[in-house]
Amino acid sequence: MSAAHHALAARRWRIAIVLTALVMVIYFGFILLIAYGKGFVGSLLMPGLSVGILLGAVVIVASWLLTWGYVKWANDHYDPALQALKESGE
């Protein structure tokens, strides 16, 4: 593997690690809030909608958005850079 391949792979790993850390912080933050903030999470915003239900939906949507962001980055940056490396013969 060339230095350019290693640099591209390192960039992909950095992005993957950051996104993984974000998902873990969001998810485990939600779980810890459920465990230690039951009164807050159980409080009603309106009939049928508690803070916990709303935050659970936010966790799911945040995961979708982070996944979409990674796919967009991969399609716009990583895949073209990898293809250029392949075409250049490196």
pLDDT of residue 73: 95
Tokens of 19: 């996104």
Report residue 89's pLDDT band, with 50, 70 and 90 as the boundaries. confident
Identify the burial level of 68 via C-beta atoms within 10 angstroms of its C-beta, where 0-12 means exposed, 13-18 middle and 19 or more buried. exposed
Of 51, 64, 57, 53, nearest in space to 23 by CA: 64
pLDDT digits (tens, 9 = 90+) for 43-67: 999 999 999 999 999 999 999 999 9
Measured distance CA(84)–CA(47) in Å, rounded: 55
What's the predicted TM-score (pTM) here?
Answer: 0.82
**Two tokens at 62?**
């945040």
